[in-house]
């Protein structure tokens, strides 16, 4: 597997926004074979209304691109649903590959969780991708384009990609629905975005993500609004940093509720300007995901915010974190917020404040003062 090239992470300086319009095509495809039922009820967004959602019992092989926490959790979940299914994880770390194949665990992310016997790992892209029925894409957004370009020759043009990656490509502002077909040089590559309130650890612990544990639906929310699902999944990480800052500054629950409410509005304002449906932002993949990420301590983005609000410097926070694990995606996504606000002429005071704090242009205390001084506007 080609190594994932390093990319600059943390800058909110303006970037080029000369992007081609997003186009989604109708394509023939087999049904999606992933059954989630009561253990995991995600939100799917289809790039094509013709992609069916019913389980396909004929599926033999699923490839998971990436050996991180969520890719590992989804590999385990899919493998648990069908014992005869081969789930192949394409990873770049030799130690992770060895631990999965010999000890049935991901030594980096889940050393104490045993993976199903039908989960295997490889570092060879060709053997992983050739013959796969479906692909779960879990490579971090900032690395996705270069990685996919390096393995494109092994990807069948009809292989359905189910994207687990959340965020915006910093230098281009592209979402995964644009990155995947462009990198694979196939505008008709079948694509689905999967999003919703879910932590990898809780998936590994087989905890339900829906309060209705008896639900028997394969999918809890099905949408053709790819833009809405992806932009909500990206920007909720930035809002989680802001929520963490409020927590770290001990500003109380009233301030927290006000900030998250304002942030939700900002995400909706931007998303609708980009063509998304407002109902997507208020649904499971929007508000549901936002609530989980902003209010639960398992969120790495929120944790960074708490430490920033407590007075720590970003460089010290990052140096103290596990260097083998990708930084929280909200840090890189924050760098795209200012450019998006300028491109779509939308005021995003909370989200852009996070970007300015990350760039050392603003202290958390100063940011709170500025936000409290903003005039109230009528909600639309």
**5 lies in a domain?**
no
Pick from 206, 225, 244: which residue ends a domain?
Answer: 225
Enumerate the β-bridge partners of residue 191.
Answer: 161
Residues with Cβ within 8 Å of residue 257, at least 6 apart in sequence: none
Is 319 part of any domain? yes
pLDDT by residue for the chain (380 residues), tens only, comes to: 333 222 333 333 433 334 333 333 333 334 343 433 333 444 445 554 333 343 355 678 999 999 999 999 999 999 998 889 999 999 999 999 999 999 999 999 999 999 999 999 999 999 999 999 999 999 999 999 999 999 999 999 999 999 999 889 988 999 999 999 999 999 999 998 887 766 787 888 887 654 222 222 223 344 568 888 899 999 999 999 999 999 999 999 999 999 999 999 999 999 999 999 998 888 887 888 899 889 988 899 999 999 999 999 999 999 888 756 678 889 989 989 999 999 999 999 999 999 999 999 999 999 988 887 776 665 55
Provide the annotated active-site residues: 236
- Both 213 and 237 in a single domain? no
* Rounded Cα gap, residues 102 and 98, in angstroms: 6
Whole-number Å distance between alpha carbons of 266 and 242 = 13
Question: Per the annotation, does 345 bind a ligand?
Answer: no
Same domain, 321 and 343: yes
Q: Does residue 294 fall inside a structural domain?
A: yes
Of the candidates 12, 29, 30, 23, the residue with the CA atom closest to the CA atom of residue 47 = 23
Does residue 110 sit in the same domain as residue 256?
A: no
Indicate if 66 and 182 belong to the same structural domain: yes
Same domain, 152 and 267: no
* C-alpha span between 229 and 303 (Å, rounded): 24
72 and 216 housed in the same domain:
yes
Q: Do 48 and 91 lie in a common domain?
A: yes
Please provide the size of the chain in residues: 380
Distance, CA of 175 to CA of 227 (rounded, Å): 8
Residues 204 and 234 in one domain: no
Given a contact cutoff of 8 angstroms between Cβ atoms, the answer to whether 148 and 183 are in contact is yes
Q: Please give the Cα distance from 319 to 304 (Å, whole number).
A: 12
At 328, list the tokens.
């929280």
Residue 365's nearest CA partner among 317, 318, 311, 314 is 311
Q: Are residues 232 and 334 in the same domain?
A: yes
Count up the domains in the chain and report the number.
2
Residues 192 and 103 both lie in one domain: yes
Residues 218 and 279 in one domain: no
Asked whether residue 334 is marked as a ligand-binding residue, the answer is no
Helix axes 364-372 and 349-358, enclosed angle (nearest 10): 160
CATH number of the domain where residue 311 is located: 1.10.1040.10
User: In this structure, is residue 209 part of a structural domain?
Assistant: yes
Is 118 annotated in a binding site? The answer is no
Q: Is 70 annotated as a binding residue?
A: yes
The CATH number linked to 96 is 3.40.50.720
Q: Which domain holds residue 162?
A: 43-225
- Give which of 302, 267, 305 is closest to 283, Cα–Cα: 267
Last residue of a domain, one of 209, 225, 241: 225
192 and 234 fall within a common domain: no
């Amino acid at each position: 597997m080609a190594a994932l090239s390093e990319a600059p992470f943390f800058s909110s300086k303006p970037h080029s926004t000369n992007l081609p319009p997003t186009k989604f095509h109708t394509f023939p495809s087999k049904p999606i074979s992933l059954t989630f039922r009561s253990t995991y009820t995600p939100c799917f967004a289809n790039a094509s209304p013709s992609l069916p959602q019913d389980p396909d019992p004929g599926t033999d092989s699923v490839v998971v691109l990436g050996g991180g926490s969520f890719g590992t959790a989804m590999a385990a979940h899919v493998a648990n649903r069908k014992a005869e299914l081969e789930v192949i994880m394409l990873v770049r770390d030799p130690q992770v590959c060895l631990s999965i194949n010999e000890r049935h665990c991901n030594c980096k992310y889940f050393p104490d969780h045993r993976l199903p016997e039908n989960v295997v790992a490889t570092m060879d892209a060709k053997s992983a991708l050739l013959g796969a029925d479906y692909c779960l894409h879990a490579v971090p957004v900032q690395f996705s384009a270069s990685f996919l370009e390096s393995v494109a020759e092994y990807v069948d043009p009809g292989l359905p990609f189910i994207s687990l990656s959340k965020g915006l490509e910093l230098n281009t502002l592209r979402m995964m629905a644009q990155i995947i077909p462009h990198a694979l040089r196939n505008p008709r590559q079948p694509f689905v975005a999967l999003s919703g309130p879910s932590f990898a650890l809780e998936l590994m612990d087989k905890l339900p993500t829906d309060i209705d544990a008896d639900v028997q639906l394969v999918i809890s929310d099905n949408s053709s609004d790819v833009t809405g699902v992806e932009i909500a999944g990206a920007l909720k990480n930035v809002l989680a940093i802001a929520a963490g800052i409020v927590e770290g500054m001990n500003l109380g629950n009233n301030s927290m509720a006000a900030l998250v409410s304002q942030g939700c509005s900002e995400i909706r304002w931007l998303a609708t300007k980009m063509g998304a449906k407002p109902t997507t932002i208020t649904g499971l993949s929007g508000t549901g995901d936002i609530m989980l990420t902003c209010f639960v301590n398992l969120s790495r983005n929120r944790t960074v915010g708490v430490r920033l609000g407590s007075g720590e410097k970003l460089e010290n926070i990052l140096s103290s974190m596990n260097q083998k694990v990708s930084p929280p995606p909200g840090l890189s996504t924050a760098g795209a917020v200012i450019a998006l606000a300028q491109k779509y002429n939308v005021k995003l005071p909370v989200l852009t404040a996070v970007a300015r704090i990350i760039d050392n242009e603003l202290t958390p205390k100063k940011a709170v003062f500025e936000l409290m001084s903003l005039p109230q506007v009528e909600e639309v």
